[in-house]
Amino acid sequence: MSAIHSKSTFLYGQIRRALQSGRYLPGQRIDPTSIAAEFNTSPTPVRFALYRLVGEGLVADHARSGLHVPLPTEVAMRDLYDWMQRLLLMACDIGVSPVARKTGELNLASADDLVKLTWQLFDAIASATAHRSLHQAVKQTNDRLAPIRWAKQGLLEHAFEELSELVQHWHRRHIPALKSALHDYHERRKRLVPCIVATLNERNASLH
């Protein structure tokens, strides 16, 4: 493995985690030169890493205006929520595989953990099926939704209680109740899509 390829693989992981953690918000420009300076490297491996993320739909290439975190339209956001809902309900129907790797219980200690725990819960549900393709699809959709989840915090009331209910159903393996709660979770967000998109656009405008 060449030094540039090895470095770009490392940077890919770092940038992907930064997107998951809300460091970059929807619509925000990602500057390869700044990332290169942060990690004391040349822009070349940074661009390789970023274009790998472009291929996964986690970064958008706007040509002359550069690379940005995707700022979804109402149609695109509704599609993302619907796709995640369908994937998770499929995972529930498949069920927990006997050969699935056991994961620890999710600890929802405070509302500050909401975005991180949402990602972990949905990942655990998909991972438990032992279907790698399904798990990969959920991971990718989870990553695409992560910046949106960070940016829309505060728009939904009772989000902590809502996720707590999902976690409890999962820990108890009460699948019918989990499916019903997952359906309600995503339908609620689909109804709020116009409000969420408007909020993201306002916050994006404030970045410029």
Q: How many domains does the chain have?
A: 2
Domain hosting 18: range is 3-68
Per-residue pLDDT of the chain (208 residues; tens, 9 = 90+): 566 678 999 999 999 999 998 899 899 999 999 999 999 999 999 999 999 999 999 999 988 889 999 999 999 999 999 999 999 999 999 999 887 666 667 776 655 688 889 999 999 999 999 999 999 999 999 999 999 998 888 888 888 899 999 999 999 999 999 999 999 999 999 999 999 999 999 888 876 6
Identify whether 7 is part of a domain. Answer: yes
Last residue of a domain, one of 68, 99, 120: 68
Same domain, 186 and 121: yes
Same domain, 30 and 91: no
CA separation for the pair 186, 66 (Å, rounded): 32
Looking at residue 186, its pLDDT comes to 97
Same domain, 124 and 142: yes
Same domain, 37 and 121: no
Identify whether 178 is part of a domain. Answer: yes
Looking at residue 71, its pLDDT comes to 93
Identify whether 16 is part of a domain. Answer: yes
Identify whether 52 is part of a domain. Answer: yes
φ, ψ at 61 (rounded to 5°): -95, 110
Last residue of a domain, one of 68, 88, 112: 68
Cα-Cα-Cα-Cα dihedral sign, residues 192, 185, 135, 131: negative
**Residue 130 structure tokens:** 């032992």
pTM: 0.88
Looking at residue 152, its pLDDT comes to 83
CA separation for the pair 84, 88 (Å, rounded): 6
Same domain, 188 and 107: yes
Give the amino acid at 106. Answer: L
HEC readout, 108-161: CCCHHHHHHHHHHHHHHHHHCCCCHHHHHHHHHHHHHHHHHHHHCCCCCCCHHH
Q: 22: phi > 0 → left, psi -120 to 50 → alpha, else beta; which?
A: left
Same domain, 85 and 56: no
Looking at residue 4, its pLDDT comes to 66
Q: What's the CATH code of the domain at 56?
A: 1.10.10.10
Identify whether 79 is part of a domain. Answer: yes
Same domain, 41 and 21: yes
The answer to whether 105 touches 203, Cβ cutoff 8 Å, is no
Beta bridge partners of 60: 68
φ, ψ at 30 (rounded to 5°): -110, 115
- Helix or strand run (H / E) with residue 107: none
- Helix or strand run (H / E) with residue 78: helix 74-94
Same domain, 130 and 49: no
Looking at residue 154, its pLDDT comes to 80
